[in-house]
Amino acid sequence: MEKPLELKKNMNKINSFFITIFFIIIYFFTTALPVFAKDQQTIYFFYGEGCPHCTVVKDFLKAENLLEKYPIESREIYSNRENAVLFNVLLDNLGIPVSDRGVPTMVIGDKVFVGDKQIIDNFVSEADAFLQQEKIAPEEKQEIEEQANKIVLPEKKQDLTLLAVISASIIDAINPCAFAVLIILMTAILLGGDKKKALKTGLSFAASIFISYFLMGLGLYKVLELGGLSTLFYKIIGWLAILLGILNFKDYFWYGKGFLMEVPVSWRPSMKKLIKSVTSPLGAFGTGFIVSLFLLPCTSGPYIVILGMLAKKTIEVKAIFYLVIYNLIFVSPMVLISYAIFKGFNPNKAEEIRQKNLRNLHLIAGLIMLAMGIVVLRGWI
């Protein structure tokens, strides 16, 4: 058996690896992607099918051959939800009030022109100025930037979606239910004395949970996206987060009384029987899909809140990225515990630690969910 000091060093290496990868991903999506978008110097033209003023602008662009001369990206927003989300995200970031939005709209850098007359009168001069920005001499550019800094622009809304996704996934990652299921599974497999088989079983189970939760999340996201989220429903998502926070506070102060934010007690014998029947990594992979249904009552709350946010605020490609990040964080403790047990960590000790910290885990979950609810209701996301 590996010495405790060596085990601790190995665990620290694994933790450092996951943390490094995690922050690289965050850096790419918060810093690198905006830089790439800026370098593309895209001019966005938003229009709606059947809009007569949009037709006027389209005829103007075609007659003057401007679609070939300038990097214009045309986006129809009446029937295409992704385009509509992009439209609102861009205008949110530029501080344009909802009451001032409509089609046709042309976004040229940090300038927005609404209506056929505004677009036609200003397009060529503004587009030329926008595309010439990188060709300005360094000293002239510095002078322009100094003048621009003196202008007070509307405050841009901070995008806290990634922070919300990370926070909610941490709640699920430290959820007592997921820990309990994995510990039961690893204990059952270790009875056979094969630690390598136990490791493979734990990793297979984690992979199964990742796939099932990702697919369920993607399916619900598509339902919410196609159905469209009204402002009222989005507010309900915020109040749901606050309710979940309060219920977790209840489990911290009065654990076991009333409704419990864990797998229902009546379900637990069936779940344990199912898990203990697993004898192979392949069996663990298949069982994970079934067990994920047992976990839904105590893990679906944060997930539903996040899915509501994504359906309201993000385009599908970015939503898929967020779902991948969410579920990687969700299953990461399963991977780490599987490896720790493989290296000699006693699963009974893991269960003892879990039982000792049940209330604290509920307190952390309650605080995060309450904060998320306030963020949603305040319109910060």
The string of pLDDT tens digits covering residues 74-98 is 999 988 877 888 888 888 888 888 7
Structural domain contains residue 57: yes
Q: Where are the beta strands (DSSP E) in the chain?
A: 43-47, 72-76, 105-108, 111-114
> Is residue 166 very low, low, confident or very high in pLDDT (cuts 50, 70, 90)?
confident
Same domain, 305 and 239: yes
Structural domain contains residue 25: no
Q: CA–CA distance from 149 to each of 100, 133, 138, 142, 143 (Å)? A: 25, 16, 16, 10, 10
The full length of the chain comes to 381
Same domain, 248 and 339: yes
Count CB atoms within 10 A of the CB of residue 319. 25
- 281, HSE (Cβ side, Cα atoms, 13 Å): 14
Q: Is 268 exposed, middle or buried (0-12, 13-18, 19+ CB in 10 A)?
A: middle
Domain that holds residue 234: 159-377
> Is residue 276 very low, low, confident or very high in pLDDT (cuts 50, 70, 90)?
low
Same domain, 190 and 103: no
Same domain, 347 and 206: yes
Same domain, 309 and 364: yes
Same domain, 52 and 181: no
According to the model, what pLDDT value does residue 305 have? 79
Structural domain contains residue 9: no
Structure tokens at 280: 């192979």
pTM of the model: 0.57
How far apart are alpha carbons 135 and 34 in whole angstroms? 20
Same domain, 72 and 169: no
Whichever domain contains 61, its CATH number is: 3.40.30.10
Domain count, the chain: 2
How far apart are alpha carbons 239 and 245 in whole angstroms? 10
Q: Are 228 and 80 in contact (CB under 8 A)?
A: no
According to the model, what pLDDT value does residue 292 have? 75
Same domain, 371 and 222: yes
Look at residue 118 and tell me whether its pLDDT is greater than 90. yes
Structural domain contains residue 361: yes
The string of pLDDT tens digits covering residues 10-56 is 545 544 554 554 455 444 444 444 433 444 578 999 999 888 899 99
Structure tokens at 17: 């690896």
Structural domain contains residue 149: no
Structural domain contains residue 147: no
The DSSP code sequence of 122-187 is HHHHHHHHHHTGGGS-HHHHHHHHHHHHTS-PPPPPP--HHHHHHHHHHHHHT-HHHHHHHHHHHH
Look at residue 8 and tell me whether its pLDDT is greater than 90. no
Same domain, 170 and 295: yes
The residue among 116, 133, 150 that closes a domain is 133
Same domain, 258 and 116: no
